[in-house]
Chains A and B, each alone.
Chain A
Amino acid sequence: GAVVSQHPSWVICKSGTSVKIECRSLDFQATTMFWYRQFPKQSLMLMATSNEGSKATYEQGVEKDKFLINHASLTLSTLTVTSAHPEDSSFYICSARDLGTGITNEKLFFGSGTQLSVL
């Protein structure tokens, strides 16, 4: 099956630094990718929709200048947490839709997540 690779799997950084997380579709092209955030023992909350070649669409309450999204190719989207603070510590998960099979949820694949810890 299709695979979505997310890197790094975990990262520890100092407060005030920026962290970049990559999401790659390994064997399919994805015009649309999604970024979720998950706090401990909570559900996944959609942060933004990443669109190849255009600006990302952010959910209400998510700061676009804080969470920079770049989707420069059909297989790569990046999420940069700028000037990270301890409250940004969370599990970040991406998902990608397999373009070749049309708009069906059975072809929506999730990455393995990135655990961000900000000291």
Chain B
Amino acid sequence: GQQLNQSPQSMFIQEGEDVSMNCTSSSIFNTWLWYKQDPGEGPVLLIALYKAGELTSNGRLTAQFGITRKDSFLNISASIPSDVGIYFCAGQLAGTASKLTFGTGTRLQVTL
């Protein structure tokens, strides 16, 4: 199946640092979503984006829907240990009614 290209694949940062990750696709999506997954758990929605150019924040998280509708980025400011996990972007094509295509994931490790 199709996957979105997500980078970086993994990140090791110190507590307090900012983090940036992005997701690109060859297809146009009408919705972009960002999820966090902890080991042995299902993904949890962080931010949802519905319009090209949209910039949305959720606490220390900020995400943007790219103007071309083929990319999105997620920023985490002032990282803390509980930010550790795998972050996935997901895109929804028009007319696919909640059917999501997931990115390859970014594994985040935060050191004290």
Q: Which residues of A contact B (CB under 8 A)?
A: 4, 6, 9, 32, 34, 36, 41-46, 49, 59-61, 91, 93, 95, 97, 103-106, 108, 110-113, 115
Q: Can you list 26 A-B contacts with CB-CB less than 8 angstroms, sorted by A residue number?
A: A4-B42, A9-B40, A32-B97, A32-B98, A34-B98, A34-B99, A34-B100, A41-B107, A42-B104, A42-B105, A43-B3, A43-B103, A43-B104, A43-B105, A45-B3, A46-B1, A49-B99, A61-B1, A93-B43, A103-B97, A105-B31, A105-B100, A108-B98, A110-B42, A111-B42, A112-B41
- B41–A106 touching, CB < 8 Å: no
* A111 partner residues in chain B, CB cutoff 8 A: 42
- Distance in angstroms from A76 CB to nearest chain B CB is 17
- A45–B100 touching, CB < 8 Å: no
* B101 partner residues in chain A, CB cutoff 8 A: 46
Q: Which of B3, B44, B45, B102 contacts A106 (CB 8 A)?
A: B45
Q: Which residues of B contact A (CB under 8 A)?
A: 1, 3, 31, 33, 35, 40-45, 48, 88, 92, 97-105, 107
